[in-house]
């Protein structure tokens, strides 16, 4: 049994997750994780190069990662 499944089972039994556990469980999806990494890199690059298109693209990638997590449940 994976860590994620053990934690979910414990939460169903009444245990309250910490903030870091909630964050880890929400981002345990590889598609979401990849989207967040690429979005963060794009935002950092856009801020460094003063490129509004890269910043906007990074924010969109970040939001796609969140939407993937929200709608996959």
pLDDT of residue 48: 97
The yes-or-no verdict on residue 20 having pLDDT over 70 is yes
CB within 8 Å of 2: residues ≥ 6 apart = none
Q: Please report, for the chain, the start and end positions of each structural domain, with discontinuous segments joined by +.
A: 28-73
pLDDT of residue 73: 62
pLDDT of residue 67: 86
- Kindly report the average pLDDT of the chain as a whole number: 86
DSSP secondary structure string for all residues of 15-68:
PPPPHHHHHHHHT-SHHHHHHHHHHHHHHHHHHHHT-HHHHHHHHHHHHHHHHH
Per-residue pLDDT band for 1 (boundaries 50, 70, 90) equals low
Render pLDDT for 29-64 as a digit per residue (tens, 0 to 9). Answer: 888 889 989 999 999 999 999 999 999 999 999 999
């Amino acid at each position: 049994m994976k860590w994620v499944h053990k934690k979910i089972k414990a939460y169903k039994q009444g245990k309250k997750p910490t903030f870091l556990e909630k964050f880890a469980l929400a981002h345990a999806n590889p598609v979401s994780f990849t989207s967040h990494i690429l979005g963060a890199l794009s935002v950092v690059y856009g801020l460094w190069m003063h490129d509004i298109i890269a910043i906007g693209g990074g924010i969109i990638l970040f939001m796609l990662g969140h939407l993937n997590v929200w709608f996959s449940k």
